[in-house]
Structure 1
Amino acid sequence: MKHNMSIINEENILWSILEGTAYAILIFDNENKIIEVNRSFEKMFGWKKEELVGQKAKMESFIPDQWEDQAKEVLENVLNGKEIYSFETQRYKKDGSILDVSCTFTPILDENGMIVGGTTTHRDITEKKSAERALKESEERYRSLVETSPDVIAVHSKGKFMYMNPAGLKLLGFKRAEDISGVSITDYIHPEDRPLVRERIAKMMETSDQLESIELKVVLPKNKVINSSVSASPICYRGQSAIQVIMRDVTERVRMREQLQLILRSAGDGIYGVNQSGEITFINQSAAEMIGISEKAAIGMRMCELLTNQDEALIKIEDDPIYRSLVNGDAVEVSNQYIRRQDGTSFIVDYICTPIKENGIITGAVVSFRDVTERNNTEELLRKSDKLSVVGQLAAGVAHEIRNPLTSLKGFLQLLQKDAKDETETYYNVMLSELKRIESIIGELLVLAKPQAAKYDRVNILSILNHVITLLTSQANLKNIEIIQTYRLSQPIIEAEENHLKQVLINILKNAVEAMENQNHGKIFVSAETNEQQNELKIEIKDEGPGIAEDRISKLGEPFYSTKEKGTGLGLMICSKIIKDHGGKLSIKSELEKGTTISIVLPIKQSIQ
């Protein structure tokens, strides 16, 4: 009884194992009749046990045509007592679909050692085979891409070629793939690039990191040199560490880039590019020179750091048209933009900003600008010239109409003076003196009407300054204004028209006194110094008056514009013209509540007599 129970338990255990395994198991006898299948078989192939047990296993129901001969051979071997382990094949499922399986066949022996049947164990390897097929397809696609690629694709280890695709073999002059094996990669690198290549190989072998692409010069047969873009990445090839190289001929691209750079360098306009953050990515020589910075130092700068308004205050980034262009993608044109140079000075430009888009995404912008400072100055001179022309014509007409009756008055006065008595002689002299002064004023007006043929003589500037200051000292004293003189004249003699210089200095010094008359105190500083090396005499007249606003200084010297309540602006305009006719320059600096300084620079010797 115990023996039978032991047998039952053993059978139960074996059956439990059979039903519990994930493998599909089929048991058949030596007549190929199905004796048993487990639950995993039902699940894997779709048949129920009752559909199969007792039935003869039909090959056409289980085995695809291409595997029939293999199945017959396996069955024959099993029934002859041979075990067959884990061979891969395919089987039909009940629904007709094909399953990839790994099969193990084992013969069943009776107590006499006779073969009475066999077992088949099936393991589903569909996912494995799908992965293998996908890998194979991928390898085939990659191999096809490599073999047909127009780019050079090569593999090397320790600087020696192991593989090269047909494009590479053709480029380097090899007929067979095996001819490249063991050839040094540096044999085809230009000598100036070899140290860099060796350094990159060592770095990749040490870190296994892929490095960014670089441009190298590659030497081809017959010493032909091409420019190539080369990328490299570490791989495992034939079981050893290696480096895969992809090389593309960019000679034409480099040539076009060099031509573009030549165009950019030779362009008179400033051109620079910015990325999406507004940082400069390239800049041509003209732009760098205008800004006063090297091309290398400009890279990475933000141009908004140099954009200012007319008051030299930096523009806020949200007000920067270039920044707005990068945000909204619209091209912008801007006129009269101030740019601050590195030395602190500014110049005026017109510029166009054009966004760069890649696949609809703004990646940066190109800005081209032109220095229009000289153009604006010329336009301003033309505007002043037009005004001056109108004033000149008016002055000529007025002077002509006054001069005719003035001549008559002067003639009759001179006739009457001959018969004048002693007590009236003084009156006649006064009237004639005033008429002479009117004639002088008319002469000043005519200065505006037409060029005067000035006669330059050797004059003593010190004497002229002393004479002018003597004339205005009494007026200054009445206002409690002190005139302080400082002279550093190594050579006081200059070539000039004396009366015209006196006219200029009287006008300027008189303006300085009048600017301070409401203060009833103060000082006027008059200085003069010569620079014989530069053939220059510089005169400065500085007052301590209320000063002039900066936005009004540029308009001084224009006709009909004056800081005085009843001024016409003609006085300073005449002064500027006289100094200009002398080949000199008159400039004005002023600061509110601190005073005004007028500088006159004259040549010591005139180049044209």
Structure 2
Amino acid sequence: MFITSAPTNENYDIGFTELLLRIGFTLCVSLIVTMVLLSGFWQVNPGLCQTAVELTYLFITTAVFWVVWYTYEKNSPSVNIMGLGFLIVTVLEILQIIYFLGLGIQPENFADMGIRYLAVSRTVQIIIIAVMVAPLKCKLNKWLGIAMALLTSFLLSYAMFHFPSVSPASAFAKSALYCIFIIGSLLTLVLIKNRPFGKDSLTYKYICLALIVVITSDLSLAIYGDEITFFLVFGHVTKIAYMYYLFKGIVENVLTHPYIKIESVNVHMSKIINGLPLGLMVFDADYSLAFANIKAEEIFGYNCNEVRESDELKELFARQFYVTNKSDNLNHKMVKVKNRQGADINLRVYQWALGEEGYIQLIIDAKKEQELENLHLQTQTVLNSMKNLFLLLDKNKYIVQCNKAFLQMIDLSEEDVWGMTLERFTALMQCTWREVLTEAGTEDKLNKMYEAILITSSGESKEVMFDLAPVYNVERVLVGYIALGIDVTRLKAEQLRLQQQEKLAVLGQMAAGIVHEIKNPLTAIKRFSQILKSQTTDERLRSYVNIIETEANGVNQVVSDFLSFARPRAPALKPISINNLITSLSLIIESQLFIKNVTLKMDIAKEERTVLADEDQLKQVIMNMVKNAIDAMANTIRPMLILSTKYNKKNGEMAMVLSDNGKGMSAEEISKIGTPFYTTKDAGTGLGLSVCLQIIKQHGGRIDVNAIAGSGSTFSIILPCIDNVI
């Protein structure tokens, strides 16, 4: 990460102005060298001068190839293509020199072979540079590349002898050939201009310089005739400059630039390491201190050079920070040392192995670390003492801190919550949010209040009120959010209970009057029907009287249930055993189930705790539940009722569970359980289950329902044990 982002002190970009200056400088130097050579040396020794120029070309092309070859694996595909291409050029330059020297090996009836090789070499150079400019991604194998380059050189040389009639020997042909070279160089410049520079930007910029210089060289060589003129010498001199820039571009890219960049990265990394607020030391394989950052030097009062140059200090550091195994990584160890002033320092040391090269030790002043830990501990202690819920989020809404009250409410540990996103936490807790209307005068629109309902890990439903507020730094930049909340589950339940009591109080007053008005005529109806039944022998009249009595009893039951619901009596609480209660009712339940052909299966818990309850009211609830289960299994082929007891040690609760395989209930029916006068039976009153729920609530318990339409229902009557009753 640091290497790719490290800044460099050198600016390798060649701007347009610098490009013009370099070109101007190159042409001026070439002009001066040309004038010197034309002063008499070139006319006296033309062959020697021509050979020297060609050998200079050969040296540069060979050097370019070997530089690329020895750095092949680290180079980009474009640079490698250029190196292999210059191998081809090197072979052609060698053949050109051989034929130019006139060693007597030129075939008869062939044109000047030196000129032919020169033309082919120059063509290959243009093609190689053009191919290099193309955006290459795949890397050619090193040995396959050199084989292809040598094969290409052989094929080009071999082709020279099969086309003897093609020769640029005439002055016009030479000029036309050099014009073609100029056009090729110009087209390559256009390609380079449109190509985005990347890793090889240095190479491309030097290629631009080389191409501009070689255009002047080709132009000069296209103008000269057969005599030694200014243009001939200037063309050869600028051609050397062209080869020099190609060579410099490759060398700068594959040799000079990487080392300068590494040095720059080292300087950048040193700044980062020295900027660490922790001490860092590097020891070599001989336990000698090799490096220490500024913080480490501040802790000890010695700099790294002092320790390395002093045998006494070197031995002291080696002894104090000696490790038995350099290849081990240590979480931490405590070391007590003396600084330059002789004061004792307690250090916490962490170690990382560097293989066989040594190891790194990170040192922390234990005193300052303890101060930070104490500050954090004090902050966490204050938060944990709060009864309100506390939650701290970063700007990306990751949970970074919370207090004990919050963890106890959701029944999770710090490790489970810290680092979790708010979205993930909401999904985990099956949380539903509702924004509460805030005051219109609130300045910060991020200040919001929410009402949330969540399910804890133990399956308990909680209602919470949260006040969410943003946290800003000194520059008013948002850095996170803070949420303060309160668990209102009991408050909501108490409010609901009070509302229900108020409703029942009003309903009780109405019920007393209604029952009084109904029971008086109902009693008269029943008495007169009994008189009629005893004094008549007409069977048809007696059947009518039986119907009157049945309907009157039904009305009486509805009125009694209504009165029980509206004006429930207070339970007479005493310690009872749920297991004994179920066992005492087993014979009565079995007799009712036997009549309906229902199988009973009982599962009594081995471990139990007593509960405070009204035994008669609990029997009423159980028998009512059994009756509902029998009715629900009326059309079941093999009806079965499972009656069991359970002890929940974690929550301190006893449960009576009734499971049937009847018709079950839909989600809508479950939501309406406990609603007065709601029933799915043809002859039901809709008050039986409402009375049961009311009785269990008076006992401080609850009734949980789990049912699926067509798959049966399970009712769990849950009561707190005596130890958990407040």
> Which interval holds the TM-score relative to the shorter structure?
0.3 to 0.5
Query: Over alpha carbons, which structure has the higher Rg?
Result: 1
RCO comparison, higher one (Cα < 8 Å, 6+): 2
Q: Which has the higher strand share?
A: 1
TM-score (norm 2): 0.41
Q: Which has the higher helix share?
A: 2
